[in-house]
Amino acid sequence: MSDDPALWSTSRQAQAIRTGEISSRELLELYINRIESINGELNAVVTRDFAAARIQADAADKALAAGESSGPLHGIPVTIKDALEVRGMRSTGGAVELSNHIPDQDAPVVAAVRGAGANIIGKTNLPRWSADIQAYNEIFGQTGNPWNLERVPGGSSGGAAAAVAAGLSSFEIGTDIGGSIRFPAAFCGVFGHKPSFGLVPSSGYLDHAAGGTTEADVNVIGPIARSAEDLELLLTILLRQEEPWKIDLESPSGQLNSLRVGTWLNDDFCPVDDIVLERTTAAAAALKTAGFNLVGDRKPAIDPSEASSLAMALVSAAMLQSGEDPGYTHRAWLEHHQAREAMREAWASLFEDIDILLMPVSFVPPFTHIHEGDFSSRTLLCNGETRAYADLVKWTMLVGMAYLPSTVPPIGLGSNGLPVGIQVVGKYGADLTTIRFAGALAELMGGYQPPPIALAAS
């Protein structure tokens, strides 16, 4: 663990505040100093309210001195992805239409962490309407990858993951409809969890000009952090609370090394870059060497190309309000949904035979910023071959459209010196299993490592 409290896990910071090792105000000032020192070049934190944060930190310290605590996140300074509504703070969704939008209420997930004691100090960058695997828009410009500013941090929660990796926030809350938690976690070298669909409320999400009031198919909201322990703590706080919901997540049965682990690390439907494949293969090998129960290559009984096309149709339908109307009908969605349910049954059958499936996040490592063109016209290089930019979401959408949980731990740096992540996928509702397994895997592979820009600010 780093000597800099700003780079500690949220759980470690919360313990330090409770025991008086550090005050909320002291931790806040560390983050403010770091933001003022390195955010100018990183451009992850795009809206700030340090004056209100200082008042909140002092109130938290005063309450603790009186023996009062507001919850497990008491006094913890955090930023929030700019796609989520924060009461009294500019919240834009990365779109000029909402440049001056100041909500009068928190998104439910924001209210949850605020209610647990978190101190919200600012907002982080993203692409317009969260619709890209980068983090740039007309209002705030582009966010760099904290490991190499010429590369993207992933998207759409790119500013969020960059802020966590660089030590500008204790943790973050991301959104994920096509990989928007998983890409940034993998590209920035932090932990991210895409919950099972429906476990966490997703209203208060700004994906179109009148957004925030409804919840979209496939889209989920989940935590980004510097440890798996933090993911579990935060997921517990974020879980849907309104009546009649009562969610009791299933803990893994037995030891983690007894879980049956399948691998699906490459496939002709979306071949993976050698740099990525080397790291994911090394992760699987490390598990086997450590005595984990690897059962070999496995995948659901689906056509992945067909499933990927279906996923794109479902996600596109969920994002219609921020794009052009192609005349998509509700009946068309119902037919796609029926096909999706058949594929979900195939996934469920797979998870009768295994407990964990390891999969790639991205077919390429973090790439250089691309502002020209759009999602459908851009290209990327993979092993010397020109590939469609839209191939980026093939591996993530297979999991997302099936509503499954996926935890992404850091598994070290590739030969290019940039982070690589891996999807730890489980059956629907097995969120604690994927998080705890991801923690064990990360421990074998070195866990969170502060990027150079983070150490420069320490």
Cis peptide before 406 (omega within 30 of 0): no
Cβ-based neighbour number of residue 1 at 10 Å: 12
Distance CA 202, CA 238 (A): 10
Per annotation, catalytic residue among 23, 81, 130, 394: 81
What are the b/e assignments for 367-399, b being 16+ CB within 10 Å? bebbeeeeeeebebebeeeebebbbbbbbbbbb
Tokens of 135: 């983090």
Three-point CA angle 422, 381, 309, nearest 5° = 65
Per annotation, catalytic residue among 24, 180, 227, 406: 180
Q: How many CA atoms lie within 13 A of 89 on its CB side?
A: 27
Per annotation, catalytic residue among 130, 156, 169, 362: 156
Q: Are 287 and 356 in contact (CB under 8 A)?
A: no
Residue 348 is given by DSSP the state H
Cis peptide before 244 (omega within 30 of 0): yes
Q: Are 40 and 166 in contact (CB under 8 A)?
A: no
Spatial CB neighbours of 269, under 8 Å, sequence gap ≥ 6: 304, 305, 308, 394
Tokens of 49: 């309210």
**Amino acid (1-letter code) at residue 18:** R
Tell which residue, 153, 147, 205, 151, has the closest CA to residue 176: 205
State yes or no: is 406 an active-site residue: no
Q: Are 203 and 211 in contact (CB under 8 A)?
A: no
C-alpha radius of gyration, the chain, whole number: 20
Largest CA distance in the chain: 63
What are the b/e assignments for 271-309, b being 16+ CB within 10 Å? ebbebbbebbeebbebbeeeebbbeeebbbebebeebbe
- Please give the C-alpha separations between residue 259 and each of 154, 285, 408, in angstroms, as whole numbers: 30, 15, 18
H helices of 123-175, in order, are 158-166
Pairing of strands 419-421, 410-413: antiparallel
- Return the SS3 of 246: coil
- Please give the C-alpha separations between residue 272 and each of 91, 178, 278, in angstroms, as whole numbers: 36, 18, 10
**Amino acid (1-letter code) at residue 33:** N
Tokens of 34: 């770091």
State yes or no: is 180 an active-site residue: yes
State yes or no: is 299 an active-site residue: no
Q: Provide the annotated active-site residues.
A: 81, 156, 180
